[in-house]
């Protein structure tokens, strides 16, 4: 059956491009395919201190998939077929709060979905499944991430809510003000449906949000300029090395045994057995 393997070829799946796997020991690459088509790029396999890690460039090797066109289902299923049980999803985010500054990391524990029209489930029928996303992010991995960031002396926020917008355009000032007033922390275009799909596959999911900007500005501070794509890339690249080191440290620290409930997310989710 698709989605099941006997011997895992990878334990961790990371959505990130070449910058992320340069520190890992590469063991090959695979052109994967799934019933939802091909993932957004070749799957690269590597090992970090004996733990097997697979990488998929979320936006494609040449950044040819904008956020609303990423083949999220194929990406998640390609990892599942390799036996991946834990996904790490790094991404750039805008901050909606003064105290969450560019360069900071946020290990989100909640999302709010403002996307539309994306394929966001593996269960289109006839099998009906209502997975709980009350706690969509893996608590065991978030704990390991906080310990890893501490060990590397990186500034981080151990929890936070990401609002996910459709894109590819950035927010208007009015939208950004609205999101900010809800008390949400950061804004992004790819966390949904990626995390929800991982949950439907009973995989752990850790988000690493790297703050690159203050979205449409900061209320009360006209000196803060609205986000531009150029600025996002600049700040992201400046922090890429730290992010890569962090992912390596997390992989080393996550205990092999899963003590979370992510692996049984579908237990009470099905109406028809």
Binding site for Zn ion (CB under 5 A): 138, 204, 260, 262
Least CB distance from residue 64 to Zn ion, whole Å?
Answer: 31
Residue among 159, 121, 157 at smallest CA distance from 137: 159
Least CB distance from residue 261 to Zn ion, whole Å?
Answer: 7
CB-nearer residue toward Zn ion: 171 or 191: 191
Least CB distance from residue 260 to Zn ion, whole Å?
Answer: 3
CB-nearer residue toward Zn ion: 112 or 260: 260
User: Long-range CB contacts (< 8 A, 24+ apart) of 179-185?
Assistant: 179/96, 179/215, 180/96, 180/97, 180/215, 180/219, 182/112, 184/96, 184/112, 185/95, 185/96, 185/97, 185/100, 185/106, 185/108, 185/157, 185/160, 185/161
Least CB distance from residue 262 to Zn ion, whole Å?
Answer: 3
CB-nearer residue toward Zn ion: 100 or 138: 138
DSSP reduced 3-state for 41:
coil
Active site residues: 213, 215
CB-nearer residue toward Zn ion: 186 or 204: 204
DSSP reduced 3-state for 199:
helix
Backbone angles phi, psi at 82, to 5 degrees: -85, -5
CB-nearer residue toward Zn ion: 128 or 264: 264
In whole angstroms, what is the distance from residue 51 CA to residue 120 CA?
Answer: 30
- How do 12-15 and 86-95 pair as beta strands? parallel
- Helix 229-238 to helix 240-253 angle (10° resolution) is 50
CB atoms within 10 A of CB 6: 5
Least CB distance from residue 179 to Zn ion, whole Å?
Answer: 27
Q: Reply yes or no: is the peptide bond before residue 144 cis, omega within 30 of 0.
A: no
């Amino acid at each position: 059956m698709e989605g099941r393997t006997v011997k895992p070829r990878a334990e961790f799946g990371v959505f990130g491009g070449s910058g992320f796997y340069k520190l890992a020991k590469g063991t090959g690459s695979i052109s994967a395919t799934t019933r939802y088509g091909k993932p957004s790029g070749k799957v690269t396999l590597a090992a970090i201190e004996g733990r097997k890690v697979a990488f998929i460039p979320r936006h494609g090797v040449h950044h040819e998939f904008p956020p609303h066109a990423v083949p999220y289902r194929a990406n998640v299923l390609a990892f599942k077929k390799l036996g991946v049980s834990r996904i790490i999803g790094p991404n750039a985010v805008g901050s909606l709060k003064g105290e969450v500054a560019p360069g900071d990391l946020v290990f989100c524990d909640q999302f709010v979905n403002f996307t539309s029209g994306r394929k966001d489930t593996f269960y289109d029928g006839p099998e009906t499944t209502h997975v709980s996303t009350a706690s969509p992010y893996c608590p065991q991995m978030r704990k390991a991430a906080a310990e890893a960031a501490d060990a590397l002396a990186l500034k981080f926020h151990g929890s936070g809510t990401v609002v996910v917008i459709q894109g590819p355009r950035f927010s208007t000032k009015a939208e950004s003000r609205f999101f900010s007033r809800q008390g949400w922390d950061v804004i992004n275009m790819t966390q949904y449906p990626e995390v929800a799909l991982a949950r439907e596959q009973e995989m752990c999911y850790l988000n690493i949000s790297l703050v690159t900007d203050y979205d449409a500005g900061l209320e009360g501070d006209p000196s803060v300029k609205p986000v531009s794509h150029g600025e996002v890339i600049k700040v992201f690249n400046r922090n890429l090395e730290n992010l890569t080191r962090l992912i390596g440290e997390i992989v080393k620290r996550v205990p092999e045994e899963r003590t979370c409930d992510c692996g049984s997310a579908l237990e009470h989710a099905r109406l028809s057995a």
